[in-house]
Amino acid sequence: MKSPAELEAMRAAGALVAQVLTAVTELARPGVSTGELDALAEQIIRGAGAVPSFLGYHGYPASICASVNEQIVHGIPSTAQVLADGDLVSVDCGAILDGWHGDAAVTIPVGAVSAADAALSAACEAALHAGIAAVQPGGRLSDISHAVQTACEDAARRDGVAYGIVQEYGGHGIGTSMHMDPFLPNYGDPGQGPRLKPGMALAVEPMLTAGDPETLELADGWTVVTADGGRAVHWEHTVAITEDGPRVLTLPA
């Protein structure tokens, strides 16, 4: 549970993460490498007197995750990975400012992406916002899971496709560490799990696939890809529970 002053400190960390994602989104275009996106992110984070939370996390070697096309999450940025027209790159970023964490992710279209890819990303972003809307005092954790799942299913029906919801990864509590209890699945029945109370903070982060949601981890020990090679997307915000409902901490200042 965080005090109002502590949530303000988390808001500052979140605003920095948002600033990084805005800058990375502007830089991401055909011909730019994911290594360059990482360098920009680290420069902005350190320039603000903050620390990249991903760097060194269980040995992770970069300040962002950059997951391209069939990569779902935890893609390692590299100067060898040059973005091409039509790619989808999911960028996940975390920063620690004054001891408090912010964590957020966006999926960025590189150049002109297909209508199907744009719809997949829009479905995931809508699911994120549906999940955020369920971050209500007095509710239960799985209300968020259920809202995410329902939004994915609604989008799939509307788009006439069968999106997959990744099951092995999900949201989490966040505060003085990046990953805190509870784990927050992106599917499930409502009305279960811990009661949501003002002062809690959660990272809500749906991951959707164009096809089957089964995942594989590459031999680098990090990169998670779709088993069927289909495309994947990832959207995330850090959200606080207030008396008045959800407060998104990772919006631009």
Residue ranges in contact with ligand MF3 by CB under 6 A: 54, 57-58, 60, 65, 74, 92, 94, 103, 203, 205, 236
Considering the rule CB under 5 A, would residue 147 count as an interface residue with Co ion? no
- Looking at beta carbons only, is 6 or 92 nearer to ligand MF3? 92
The token pair that represents 19 in the structure block: 């600033």
Which is closer to ligand MF3, CB of 65 or CB of 123?
65
| Half-sphere exposure for 125 (CA within 13 Å, toward CB) | 12
C-beta of 174: minimal distance to Co ion in Å?
A: 7
Contact call for residue 103 and Co ion (CB under 5 A): yes
Closest distance to Co ion from the beta carbon of 218 (Å): 20
The torsion of the CA quartet 170, 9, 23, 117, rounded to 10 degrees, works out to 20
With CB under 5 to 8 Å by kind, the binding choice for 160 among ligand MF3, Co ion, none is none
Of 205, 167, 230, 181, residue with least CA distance to 91: 205
Question: With CB cut-offs between 5 and 8 Å by kind, which of ligand MF3, Co ion, none does residue 125 bind?
Answer: none
Q: Choose among Co ion, ligand MF3, none what residue 102 binds, the Cβ cut-off being 5 to 8 Å by kind.
A: none
Two tokens, residue 94: 């975390």
> What interhelical angle do 4-27 and 34-47 show, nearest 10?
140
Helix (H, G, I), strand (E, B) or coil at 155: helix
Q: How far is the CB of 31 from ligand MF3 (least distance, A)?
A: 25
Nearest to 163 by CA among 143, 180, 183, 149: 149
> Does 144 help bind Co ion (rule: CB under 5 A)?
no
Q: Which residues pair with 105 in a beta bridge?
A: 92, 236
Q: Could you give the string, one character per residue 205-224, with x where binding to Co ion holds by CB under 5 A and - elsewhere? A: x-------------------
